[in-house]
Amino acid sequence: MESAAIIILNYNGVHFLEQFLPSVVASSAGHRLIVADNASTDASLEFLQKNYPTVEIFAFEENYGFAEGYNQALNLVDNTYSILLNSDVEVTPGWIEPVLNLMEQDVSIAACQPKVKAFHQKSHFEHAGAAGGYIDQLGYPFCRGRIIDLTEEDKGQYDNIVPIFWATGACFFVRTQVYKSMGGFDASFFAHMEEIDFCWRLQRAGYKLYYHPQSVVYHVGGGTMPATNPRKTYLNFRNSTVMLYKNEKIISLLWKLPAKLGLDLLAMLYFRIQGKSQDGQAVWRAVVDFLGKFRQWKRPANHIQLVNRSTPFVMMKSLLVWERYFHGKKYFRELSFANRFNNTRWDSGFSAHDAEGSSKKQYQDTAKWASQKLKKKRK
């Protein structure tokens, strides 16, 4: 089995390095371990040099952010596989081998993720990735084990190897040369959603992505940017819209882009009604910046022609907000989409672009429902 380059991106995270680097060192024998530092001003470099002299250090002269930070790091790596690992992740013994063995069996598998559980509630899945990521017709992400903000307890219900739409950036296994040839993460994203955008591009190029449950890690989540941070809200909303614009067909964008922006504005109003005015303002800025810098967002050159592929996109045909708030579906297993993973031929029947008519109708009904709810709350 090929050795991998484990790359931990760090920015002023010496406390995470002290807490989690020991588990990585103990469970990664035979693999290359690198800390890529985004010009930290704390004691990160001194800590590494003193306590972990065998760990390689890529010391950058500026903070490139998450997306470009990893791009810079992978430009210096020539290992067959790279593992992009957040600094706030605790790994477990044997976390690497199951995934690499799977990737060795099929060269069309470009990226994978392990089972991601919550560090502070180890019986449950963690928000960022859980048991593999998917998106709905408007690009809203969800996971096996996490629908919107509700995470499930891990009871072994997602212990099968399955294809996924996106792999979490918290622990991202990828073929190094494929990463480079695809241009890596979109640096304009800075942070958040860049891995989903990248995974979408991978699939459009004909590659596959998988989840492997025998590899388990524990993620703190929000280590560098808490969930309540308006900056995080801004990046999530802006980047999800940019991602949709970059990767969808023009004909689909004619209704999907207005629908996405409309739901985002409803989310802005909802934040304000809840008293989260800064988050509401962040959503508004995200919409304005997307529209104001429209020419800045570049669509891949192959946005019209999809590569011939044996496995279509693993995309949910319906809308997540429809499933969650209209039908009250809190868990992945309750989605009709989830039934496809129970079939022996789970790799068939997925489609990114069919059944759009029903999704349009769901959007119209969802927008009407949300508007009525907001009016009632204001009264």
Whether residue 280 lies inside any domain: the answer is no
**Three-class DSSP category at 213:** strand
Alpha carbon distance 41, 59 (integer Å)? 12
Residue in the structure block whose two tokens are 């957040």 = 86
Q: Which domain holds residue 126?
A: 4-219
Task: Phi first, then psi: give them for residue 151, nearest 5 degrees.
Answer: -105, 145
Contact 189, 67 (CB under 8 A): yes
Asked if 8 contacts 224 with a C-beta cutoff of 8 angstroms, the reply is no
> Pick from 172, 175, 154: which is nearest to 211 by CA?
172
CA distance 132 to 118: 14
Q: Report yes or no on 338 lying in a domain.
A: no
The domain that contains 107 carries what CATH number? 3.90.550.10
Least confident of 224-238, 256-270, 342-356: 342-356
The total number of residues written for the chain in this structure = 379
Asked whether the predicted pLDDT for residue 51 surpasses 60, the reply is yes
**What is the residue whose two structure tokens read 């919409």?**
287
58-88 pLDDT tens trace: 999 999 999 999 999 999 999 999 999 999 9
Determine the pLDDT at residue 306.
Answer: 44
Residue 311 counted as domain residue: no
Q: Is residue 358 part of a domain?
A: no
How far apart CA 107 and CA 109 sit, in angstroms, is 5
**pLDDT, position 169:** 96
Strand partners, 124: 153
The count of domains in the chain is 1
In 244-270, which positions are buried (b, 16+ CB within 10 angstroms) versus exposed (e)? bbbbbeeebbebbbebbbbbbbbbbbb
Residue 311 has pLDDT above 60, yes or no: no
Q: Tell me whether residue 192 is in a domain.
A: yes
Measuring CA to CA, which residue among 209, 210, 202 is closest to residue 307? 202
Q: Is 298 inside any structural domain?
A: no
Helix (H) or strand (E) holding 366: helix 356-378
Whole-number Å distance between alpha carbons of 143 and 230: 23
DSSP state of 218: E
Query: Would you state the pLDDT for residue 322?
Result: 83
Instruction: Examine residue 60 and state whether it is found in any structural domain, yes or no.
Output: yes
The pLDDT confidence band at residue 35, using thresholds 50, 70 and 90, is very high
Q: What does the alpha-carbon distance between residue 39 and residue 57 come to, in Å, rounded to a whole number?
A: 12
Interval 167-219: pLDDT, tens: 999 999 999 999 999 999 999 998 889 999 999 999 989 899 999 999 999 99
Q: Which tokens in the block code for residue 326?
A: 């209209």
pLDDT at residue 259, as a whole number: 95
**% of the chain beyond a pLDDT of 70:** 84
- Asked whether residue 361 is domain-assigned, the answer is no
**β-bridge partners, 175:** 81
The pLDDT, as a whole number, for residue 312 is: 52
pLDDT of residue 363: 46
Cα 223 from chain centroid? 15
pLDDT (tens digit per residue) in 118-149 = 999 999 999 999 999 999 989 999 999 999 88
Per-residue pLDDT of 98-116, as tens digits, reads 999 999 999 999 999 999 9
